[in-house]
């Protein structure tokens, strides 16, 4: 998908994203947008994760994944 061109308007926290691997109680506050398009960066884990893996709601996760694929096609 390549590198992200610019930071998103909303933060990962505002979009309801949470780190899928963090053991910290305030795990959402550790997320920021990754340098990679369609990914988030977890400061606690020091890892990039696909944004769709950071949602508890499977329907929202599926929609986000499909939007990422569509976005990648247009590059």
Per the prediction, the chain carries an average pLDDT of 79
pLDDT recorded at residue 44: 84
Q: Please name the residue that has the structure tokens 């994944």.
A: 65
From its phi and psi, is residue 37 left (phi > 0), alpha (psi between -120 and 50) or beta?
Answer: beta
Confidence (pLDDT) at 55: 87
Tens-digit pLDDT profile for residues 45-73: 889 998 888 888 889 889 988 888 888 77
CA dist., res. 58 & res. 32, Å (int): 21
Q: What is the pLDDT of residue 28?
A: 56
Prediction pTM value: 0.71
Q: Average of pLDDT values for 29-57?
A: 87
How far does CA 62 lie from the centroid of its chain?
Answer: 13
Q: Which of 44, 45, 46, 53 is nearest to 17 (CA)?
A: 53
């Amino acid at each position: 998908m390549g590198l992200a061109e610019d930071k998103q308007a909303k933060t990962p926290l505002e979009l309801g994203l949470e780190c899928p691997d963090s053991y910290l109680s305030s795990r959402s506050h550790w997320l920021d947008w990754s340098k990679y398009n369609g990914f988030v960066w977890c400061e606690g884990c020091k890892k990039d994760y696909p944004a769709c893996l950071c949602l508890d709601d499977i329907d929202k996760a599926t929609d986000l994944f499909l939007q990422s694929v569509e976005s990648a096609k247009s590059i």
